[in-house]
Amino acid sequence: MTEGKISKNIISFAFPIFLGNLFQQLYNVVDSLVVGNVLGKEALAAVSSTGSLIFLIVGFLGGIFVGAGVIISQHYGAKDKEKVSIAVHTTIAAGLIAGIIITIIGVVGTPWFLELMDTPEDVFVDAVTYLRIFFAGGIGIVMYNTCMGIFQAVGDSKRPLYYLIIAAVLNVVLDILFVAIYDFGIAGAAIATVISQFVSAILSFHKLTKAEDYHRVVIREIKINTTMLKSLVKMGIPAGVQNSVIAFANVIVQANINQFGAAAMAGSGSFAKLEGFAFLPITSFSIALTTFIGQNLGAKQYQRAREGARFGIIACISLAEVIGIFIWIFAPALIRIFNSDPEVIELGVLRARITSLFFFLLALSHCISGILRGAGKTQIPMYVMLVSWCIIRISYITIMVRIIPDIRVVFWAYPITWFISSAAFVLYYKKSNWLEAYE
């Protein structure tokens, strides 16, 4: 990432991440397709309602490992073999511990979490079943993301893609087998997801033990280095908090959607699956920018970092908006794929038509956030997201739904808060010298 044409570097790194996310999104969609068409809208609502809660718990830990990736990428850019090795082994050890924690919290706390979200009685049992099984595989989920972060930090985005493709294909096969053929119900969809995640985690970890570069994992060296852990946590906590506050806000949004019934949950959840495709270029470029900025700052190539940031922002918002326009146009047909109930389709299309044309704002916020993380300024994105996507979003919904009890009020919370965060990020990006700590 420190040599060659900037646009080629970023695109060649982002594209495998894009494909990997595409396959991951596809197998998330398959869950909903199989559940919605085989088990009905109540089961689809149960699966859909768990997404925000899953991200609330997994997202915090994922953010921690984003911080780890920044540390690894900077040491890798500086060609400091010893520190890269220490950071990698500390990250793996922390991932194992985190996987155990998330399993315990998820399995034990599932009913309580769903009650807090006002999950309707007609979908509560299915939601508990799905979520408990999902969290039972917590170690597999966390370890795959941990290994993926290490690969990406050293500029290898292809390996995670290969393993994700294998997991995606396996998930599709197991979904059809467990739900449609063997009639395991909603538990079958959760089991398929967990098995797939474990397979991708095992393959990723095995490859790290065979790597021929600084980031090779030696099993006997997997341990916590206290000094490195402090650096990883210091860098990762803000990103973890950022993910968590976003997810927490979305849990509140989901709780408000739940009050409008199973059809609203299914319709909104179906659109959320489609919305995931808009996140593909956003996530890909955000991760690519974090790694690109981190490695180039480590190599003291400051102008190259600036040029890469500018290119990444323009490319990302353009792609996200193209996808948004496509979803806006074809929303009725796309929502119908998940469930044929007219009310489900109507509500899913309603959310699509309100939010999809504003995806460029979402992309802008995430790209600048990725750039700042790569530069080590992880607290700025945390503060911006905390205020705009948590405090303002929750306050808006809490107040406005009481005044206007219409689900459109809830849906408008997204573009409104995307605009606020984008304005704040652009202002900071233009007015501050985000490379001042390095130049």
Mean pLDDT along residues 371-386: 84
Residue showing tokens 């009050």? 259
CA–CA gap between residue 434 and residue 439 (Å, rounded):
10
pLDDT score at 355: 93
What is the dihedral sign for C-alpha 270, 272, 275, 279?
negative
Is 436 inside any structural domain? no
pLDDT bin (cut points 50, 70, 90) of residue 437 is low
Is 233 inside any structural domain? yes
What is the rounded average pLDDT for all residues in the chain? Answer: 85
pLDDT score at 438: 56
Closest CA to 106 of 139, 81, 143, 64: 139
Is 19 inside any structural domain? yes
Q: Between these two residues, 43 and 331, which has the higher pLDDT value? A: 331
Radius of gyration from C-alpha coordinates of the chain: 21
pLDDT bin (cut points 50, 70, 90) of residue 385 is confident
Mean pLDDT along residues 372-385: 84
Query: Do the beta carbons of residue 96 and residue 138 sit within 8 Å?
Result: no
Instruction: Report how far apart, in Å, the C-alpha atoms of 436 and of each of 232, 234, 297 are.
Output: 21, 19, 11
Closest CA to 285 of 15, 85, 5, 75: 15
pLDDT score at 327: 92
pLDDT bin (cut points 50, 70, 90) of residue 439 is low
Mean pLDDT along residues 303-331: 91
Tokens of 417: 């808060």
Find the domain containing 290 and state its range: 6-431
Predicted TM-score (pTM) of this structure? 0.70
Please tell me the total count of domains within the chain.
Answer: 1
Closest CA to 170 of 148, 145, 200: 200
Mean pLDDT along residues 388-407: 90
pLDDT score at 52: 65
CA–CA gap between residue 234 and residue 205 (Å, rounded):
25
Lowest mean pLDDT, pick from 272-281, 318-327, 339-348:
272-281
Q: Between these two residues, 237 and 342, which has the higher pLDDT value? A: 342
Is 326 inside any structural domain? yes
Is 437 inside any structural domain? no
Is 193 inside any structural domain? yes
Is 1 inside any structural domain? no
Is 270 inside any structural domain? yes
